[in-house]
Amino acid sequence: MYEEERDIIDALRGGKAPEQSTGYMPIGRKDEIDEFERLLKDVERGKAVTKFINAQFGMGKSLLLRIVEEIAIEHNFVVSYIDLPKRAADIPFNKFEIVYTKIVQGLRSKSGRSFKEIIDAWLLNLKNRVRDELDNPLRSVDPIVMRYIDKSLEHVKEYSNSFAFVIRSYSLNLMTGNDEKANYAIAWLEGDPNMPANKRREIGVKGTITKEESFNFLKALTILIKSIGYYGLVVLIDEVENIMNLTTGNLREGAYGNIKTLYDNEHGLENIMFIFAGTPQLFQEGERKGIASYDALYERIKDVLHSPYKNIREPVIELEGLKRDELKEVSEKIIEMHALAYDWDPRSRMNPVLEEILNYYEERAGLSGGKVIPRDFIRAFVDVLDTIQQHPDITEEGILGLFEEKESEWEL
**pLDDT band at 202, cuts 50/70/90?**
confident
Q: For residue 79, what pLDDT is reported?
A: 97
Q: Does residue 195 contact residue 181 with C-beta atoms inside 8 Å?
A: no
Mean pLDDT of 219-239: 94
Name the residue with higher pLDDT: 385 or 19: 385
Q: What percent of the chain has pLDDT over 90?
A: 64
Task: For 271-304, write each residue's pLDDT tens digit.
Answer: 999 999 999 999 999 899 999 999 999 999 998 7
Task: For 94-126, write each residue's pLDDT tens digit.
Answer: 999 999 999 999 999 988 888 999 898 888 878
**pLDDT band at 318, cuts 50/70/90?**
very high
Q: Which amino acid is at 333?
A: K
> What span, in angstroms and rounded, lies between the C-alpha atoms of 195 and 209?
12
Residues of the chain with CATH 3.40.50: 29-109+230-318
CA distances from 302 to 166, 261, 321 (A): 41, 16, 21
Q: Which of 379, 354, 361 is CA-nearest to residue 322?
A: 361
CA 187 to chain centre: 22
Task: For 325-350, write each residue's pLDDT tens digit.
Answer: 889 999 999 999 999 999 999 999 99
Q: Which of 384, 371, 406 is CA-nearest to residue 28?
A: 371
Radius of gyration (C-alpha) of the chain in whole angstroms: 24
- What mean pLDDT, rounded, does the chain reach? 89
**pLDDT band at 137, cuts 50/70/90?**
very low
Task: For 370-400, write each residue's pLDDT tens digit.
Answer: 678 899 899 999 999 999 999 999 999 999 9
Res. 412: pLDDT tops 50: no
**pLDDT band at 64, cuts 50/70/90?**
very high
HSE-CB for 177 with a 13 A CA cutoff = 3
Residue range 29-109+230-318, CATH number: 3.40.50
Res. 138: pLDDT tops 90: no
pTM: 0.91
Mean pLDDT of 232-261: 97
